[in-house]
């Protein structure tokens, strides 16, 4: 029974860590989208990527994979397209 409790606790800890990472990803996505919005959505993809890399460098010491940048870039581009539709 003790092993089962340990496994459950480990799963709960993993879930909490994953939630923290997902929350950070969402915050970075919003941060990048806000940068783009402040610049009137006139950035080209390379310019957006530069801004995202700046954000990445600020937070690279955190436990996030390099794939995070690619995922974030795709999310921000999609998010920006949605903003443009509504503006």
For the chain, what are the domain ranges?
24-86
Q: Which pLDDT score, from 0 to 100, does residue 4 have?
A: 58
pLDDT tens digits, 35-64: 666 655 555 566 666 766 776 676 666 555
**Both ends of the chain: CA-CA distance in Å?**
58
74 has a pLDDT exceeding 60: yes
Q: Which of 87, 83, 86, 85 is nearest to 33 (CA)?
A: 83
């Amino acid at each position: 029974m003790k092993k089962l409790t340990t496994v459950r606790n480990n799963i709960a800890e993993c879930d909490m860590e994953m939630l923290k990472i997902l929350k950070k990803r969402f915050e970075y996505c919003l941060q990048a989208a806000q940068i783009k919005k402040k610049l009137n959505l006139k950035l080209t993809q390379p310019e957006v990527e530069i801004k995202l890399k700046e954000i990445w460098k600020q937070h690279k010491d955190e436990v996030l994979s390099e794939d995070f940048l690619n995922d974030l870039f795709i999310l921000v581009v999609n998010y920006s397209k949605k903003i443009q539709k509504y503006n």
